[in-house]
Structure 1
């Protein structure tokens, strides 16, 4: 039986660019195609019970690469045809003419498989899950559950786990800055920041979703 993928929309193109490029040793390859009447760019980030979990955002622009970097201290992203800026990262875009039936979206609204929520005490506990992954740290995903903002990471604690978890903290307000800065040496709480230029710190990228994550059982 074919395991159809789940498609989850991120907030906008900048969020998607950060997802596939920021902190990656090699930027992830993006795929563009038509999905339910709109042109999108996408990347697979997980497999949940043999079903691909794919993140996407709509785009009207077509090109060969998705560029990402910083200009004037702010994130900058654009779909381009050539690699011209050596300080930027570039995700190659593979254009798919038409999706095979095995990559069509899952339409069953009765989800059999979801991530189990695992609430953590604080942001310090959340960043500790990144220990050992500093060279290519995992992304944190953020979305509103209607009353609180959830920020967390999807993970298994070992490969034999039958259950996948969304390890998260709850915030009273939306995180408006795209990175979480932390250090194990200064004793300070992790802080949300706009840039990653301050030396002596580690950083995690935050990816905001357009809506609540449909695979998190809340």
Structure 2
């Protein structure tokens, strides 16, 4: 009788570093209907800010950026047409968007990085910026089959 092979499916999170703190702030504040909660914790021996935004093949996708300094909120706004990102201790400026920072002392095993399987997003190239903007249409609906 042949043995049935069982494959272990890695369902632990995949951590993806974004290019900058500004990009992370834009992701959690500006690209959402309401700012998402950010989490501060250790990753590979360094303090980071992270947020889970996606799931790929049953695996949580966590985006992160190095934590530059401590504070209670990630703040995003525009000043003279230029994007700004700061870590602040209050939400006193109503013209800005704020993501609360939750400080995690130690991650449970289910939130620790996975084994590095090669699951990847499949790229898609759009013809124009208008098509990119239209992807937000029907926010709660899945745009692709």
TM-score, normalised with respect to structure 2:
0.82
Q: Aligned-pair distance for 1:101?
A: 1.5
Q: Where does residue 46 of structure 2 map in the other structure?
A: 38
Give the Cα separation in 2 of the matches to 1:123 and 1:72: 23
Which structure dedicates a bigger proportion of its chain to helix? 2
CA distance in 1, matches of 2:115, 2:86: 32
What is the aligned residue count? 136
- 1:1-218 alignment runs, 5 A limit: 3-108=11-116, 110-111=117-118, 113-133=119-139, 157-158=144-145
- Structure 1 stretches of 5 or more lacking a match? 137-154, 159-218
Give the 3 Å change call, closer, same or farther, for CA 156–101 of structure 1 in structure 2: farther
The structural deviation recorded for 1:130 is 2.9
Name whichever of 72-81 and 121-130 sits farther off.
Answer: 121-130
Which runs of no fewer than 5 residues in structure 2 stay unpaired? 1-8
Q: What whole-Å deviation, never above 9, does each CA across 1:80-121 have from its counterpart, x for those lacking one?
A: 11111011111001110011111111233x42x332333334
User: How many angstroms does 1:18 deviate by?
Assistant: 0.7
Please tell me whether the aligned partners of residues 135 and 143 of structure 2 are also in contact (alpha carbons under 8 angstroms): no
Compute the TM-score of the two structures, normalised by the length of structure 1. Answer: 0.56
Query: Shift of the alpha carbon at 1:23?
Result: 4.6
Deviation, 1:27, is 0.6
Indicate conservation of the 8 Å contact 2:10/2:114, yes or no: no
Task: Provide the C-alpha distance between the structure 2 equivalents of 1:71 and 1:123, rounded to a whole number of angstroms.
Answer: 24
The answer for the alignment partner of 2:3 in structure 1 is none
- RMSD over aligned Cα atoms: 2.2
Q: CA deviation at 1:128?
A: 3.2
Tell me the distance in 1 between the aligned counterparts of 2:54 and 2:44: 21
Change (3 A) 1:49 1:27: same
